[in-house]
A and B are shown apart, each in its own frame.
Chain A
């Protein structure tokens, strides 16, 4: 699976290289407070959350994510509609406008680990590669928290 991440990083790197060569300002995207919820052995999916800040002057977009712990990592939104929970994949990614901070948090946007290769254990760090349209790839560790957590928890949450 490391190969997958590497290849995705490589592709992303190639994608961003022409932008840099074209002399556009390098967008600044930072990902902090990344965390995921622990999962039961039988659970094949899990959710992850993070704070994404675009401190640059150019709009960016989180277009995809990948992790060696899952066969796929999707970007999802969750909404409540008349008491009904609706979760949807965001195939167009998540916009991260210039100068703004986007929160992936419970009850809202999240990354979804699909096809977990092993359960997410609390205390574990899950490596995730986030790919942005302009900023390229950002590697971040998602700290696994107890299932009841509503935030990154302890001091190991941020990266």
Chain B
């Protein structure tokens, strides 16, 4: 490319003694590199503050009062997020009640993070109903849901498995990931709490998330 003998109009500010085409190619190459870098950085940083990408990515969901809640709206604090559905009679209430107990055990530190429950059953759980459900646990829990597309986005972001399974009689149940994801103040994954994990361990993990 450099040995081209094409004769182009020299730019006004072309450095003397340099082939103008070579100069322009380098300039273009530089611009391309910068654009690529910016695009890449932009795609990595679109969901959270800090240098690291936010775990789970961006999302927009619906609060019990029907208002939209984005990740940015809740990113002022670390959060423990759990995916389930209100017709789940066992694992979901067990997990949310356990989180409520762990928060209580943390004393004043318990106020430094949010508990977020995302219903993955948009066909059944309406926003107001989710608000009623989370109020059973006697600690502030943000109960969210969304459209199928909104839920798919957050499920994919967090790597959450959700599958509707038909039941005899025409109803369905939902297989779903039962872990609690702990997101620290920088939006990074600080850990997970598995179903059945001792609350003592969970409390330590919540402390690490708060550090």
Interaction A to B: yes
Task: Report chain B residues within 8 Å CB of A107.
Answer: 90-91, 94, 195-196
Complex-state Cα separation, A84 to B176, whole angstroms: 5
- Chain B interface bracket (under 10, 10 to 19, 20 to 34, 35 or more): 35 or more
- Would you list which residues of chain A between 89 and 134 have a CB under 8 Å from chain B? 89, 91, 106-107, 110, 112-114
Q: Which residues of A contact B137 (CB under 8 A)?
A: 147-148
Query: Who on chain A is nearest to B173 by CB?
Result: A87
| Chain A, residue nearest B136 (CB) | A147
Count contacts on A: residues with CB < 8 A to the other chain.
34
Q: List the A residue with the shortest CB-CB distance to B178.
A: A85
CA of A76 to CA of B169, assembled, Å: 14
Evaluate whether A85 and B91 lie within 8 angstroms (CB atoms) in the complex, with A40-B132, A80-B195, A107-B195 already known. yes
Contact A42 B128, beta carbon cutoff 8 Å = yes
B94 touches A43 (CB 8 A): no
Stretch with Cβ within 8 A of B (4 or more), from A17-25, A26-34, A44-52, A61-69: A44-52
Q: How many A-B residue pairs have CB under 8 A?
A: 95
Query: B87: nearest residue on chain A (CB-CB)?
Result: A45
Q: Does B60 contact A (CB under 8 A)?
A: no
| B33 on the A face (CB < 8 A) | no
Residue B86 interfacial (CB < 8 Å): yes
The answer to whether B178 and A84 have CB atoms under 8 Å apart is yes
Could you say which of B96, B133, B175 contacts A85, with CB atoms under 8 Å apart?
B175
Question: Given the known A-B contacts A86-B175, A147-B137, are A112 and B89 also in contact in the complex, defined by CB atoms under 8 Å?
Answer: yes
| A111 smallest CB distance to B (angstroms) | 9
Say whether A38 faces chain B, with CB atoms less than 8 Å apart.
yes
* Alpha-carbon distance A38/B196, docked complex (angstroms): 21
Q: How far is the CB of B181 from chain A (nearest CB, A)?
A: 11
Binding site for A on B (CB under 8 A): 86-91, 93-94, 96-98, 100-101, 126, 128-129, 132-133, 135-137, 161, 165, 167-169, 171, 173, 175-179, 194-196
16 A-B pairs with C-beta separation under 8 A? A38-B136, A40-B132, A40-B135, A42-B86, A45-B89, A47-B90, A80-B178, A85-B177, A86-B175, A88-B167, A89-B167, A106-B94, A110-B89, A112-B89, A147-B137, A148-B101
Which A residues contact B (CB, under 8 angstroms)?
A: 37-47, 72, 76, 78, 80, 83-89, 91, 106-107, 110, 112-114, 146-150
